[in-house]
A and B are shown apart, each in its own frame.
Chain A
C-alpha cells in the first residue's frame, strides 16, 4: 500500500544532503570568523561557499526537467 523503501530512501537522502549543505556552509562561516584570519582560513571558506554553490546548481538541475531529460 505504501512504499516504505521509497520513503526511507527519500528520508535518508534528504537528511544527508541537507546535513551536508548546512555543515559546509556553517564551516565556511566559521572559517570567515577565524581570528587571526589566515590566508588558509579564507581559502577554506571560499572553497566551502563554492561547494555550496555547486549544491545550488545541482538543485536547479534537478528542478528543471529539460536539463536532465
Chain B
C-alpha cells in the first residue's frame, strides 16, 4: 500500500508528486463523479423551469422535460464562459492560497452528489451549486485547514443570498400576479386566463435555456481544471470539445429523467398553481435570474423559482400556501452547505489514504447513491403516470383542447376557456351516469371575491 499522506493534497502541482497510475485513476474518477454531479444537477433543476407549466397543463410532463432537456443541451454549447475557479472565491485558491487538488475536487463532488440525492429523495429543491461549494469547503478544510476557506465570502455569496433570493422573487412574483389578476378581471364576459398557458411555455423555456448556459459550465470548469492539474492539458487551456459534449449530454439526460419528486413539490406541494400564477411566477423567475446574472449580484435559480411560486401563491386571493413545506425547503437551503461539507470532509479524509482511499470513496459513494435510488423505488410517488393523474385534477383546459374533447364526448357541457369542467377520461358521459352522481365543481382560475 502506498504511504501517501495529507500534504500531497495541498501540493502546488499534485501531478508532480503522485505516481502516474494514481493521477490517471484520480482524473478518471473525478470525470466520472463530475458527470454524475452534472446529471443530478439536471434532474434537480428541471423543476425550476417546468414545475409550473406541468402543474397548469401548459405542457404535458413528457413534453416539458423534453423541451427542458433540449434547451439545456443547446444552452451548454452556447456559452463559452467556463468557470475559471472551482469554488468561485469561497476557497482561497491560486497564488498565496491553497491549490485545490484533484483529490479535493473528487471528495467535494462526492459530498455534492450525495446531498443532491438526499434532497431529491425528500423532494426538496436545493441549490446544486451550494452543494458543490459545501463539498469543496469540507474537502478543503480537511486537506488544507480552516484558513483555506474565506468565510466572509461564504456569508456574502451563500448565506445572505439564500435569504434575499426567495424574498426578492416572492415580492416580484406577488406584484406580477396581482397585476395579472387585476388586468384580466372579468366584467361579465368569458374568462381569458387560459391564455396564460401559452405564455408559460415561453417563460419556462427561457429559464431552461439560462440553466443550460450556466450550470453545465460549472462541470466543464471542474473537469478542465482537473485535466490541467493532472498534466493532461496546459494551464489556461479551453475545455476540449469532448468535455463540452459529455457535460452537455449529462445535464440534458438528467433534465430529461425529470426529478418528478421536486416537480411535485414545486408544482403542487407549495400551493395550487393556476395558469395566471404560473405565468407570473415564471416571468418573475426569468426576470430575476437574468437581472442577477447581468447586474452582478448572483442569486440561486432554485431559490428564486421557489420564492416566485410562493409569491404567486400569495398573489391570488383564496390561494393556500403549505407553509410547512415551505419551511422544510428553507431548512434544506441552510443545511445544504454544512451537510455536503460534512460528506466532503469525510470523503477527503478517506481520500488522503491514497489510491485505496480513492477507491473506497468511489465505492461508498456509489453504494449511497444506489441505496437512495432503491429507497426511491419503494415509494414510487415520483412516477410520471401518477403525477399526470394528480395534476389533471388541478389543471384547467385551453379552449382548443376543450373543443377537441367536446367532439369526443369527454366533457360534461360545452363551455370555454378556463371555466372548463373536470375531464372525465375514465368516466361515462353525463347521460349514462347513475342518478344522483355529484359532479365536482369545475376548477377555475378566478380569485375569491375581495372582501
**Chain A interface (Cβ within 8 Å of chain B)?**
1-3, 6-7, 9-11, 13-15, 17-19, 21-23, 25-30, 32-35, 52, 56, 59-60, 62-66
Contacts and interface: CB of A to CB of B under 8 A. Distances in A.
17 contacts: A1-B156, A2-B160, A6-B297, A7-B297, A18-B172, A19-B172, A21-B176, A23-B180, A25-B196, A29-B192, A30-B184, A30-B192, A33-B189, A59-B286, A62-B294, A63-B290, A66-B78
Interface string B159-181: 01000100011011101110110
Nearest to A56: B202
For the complex of A and B, list the 10 residue pairs with the smallest distance between their C-beta atoms, beginning with the closest.
Answer: A26-B183, A18-B287, A33-B192, A14-B288, A22-B176, A6-B297, A13-B291, A14-B291, A29-B192, A18-B284
A10 to B, nearest CB: 5
B231 interface: no
Contacts of A30: 183-184, 192
A13 to B, nearest CB: 4
Contact of A10 (B156, B191, B280, B297): B297
B284 A14 contact: yes
B177 to A, nearest CB: 8
Interface of B: 75, 78-81, 152, 155-156, 160, 164, 168-169, 171-173, 175-177, 179-180, 183-184, 189-193, 195-196, 199, 202-203, 206, 209-210, 213, 279-280, 283-284, 286-288, 290-297, 299
B127 to A, nearest CB: 17
A62 B295 CA distance: 11
A13 B292 CA distance: 9
B155 A1 contact: yes
- Per DSSP, chain A at the interface is helix
Contacts of B213: 63-65
Contact of A15 (B81, B172, B192, B292): B172
Contacts, number: 132
Contacts of B284: 14, 18, 22
A52 B183 contact: no
Given A18-B283, A63-B75, A65-B79, A10 B183 contact: no
Contacts of A52: 199, 202
B297 A19 contact: no
A23 B206 contact: no
Nearest to B182: A26
A66 B295 contact: no
A15 to B, nearest CB: 5
B287 A17 contact: yes
Contacts of A33: 184, 189-192
Contacts of B183: 23, 26-27, 30
B291 to A, nearest CB: 4
B176 A19 contact: yes
B297 A3 contact: yes
A64 B169 CA distance: 23
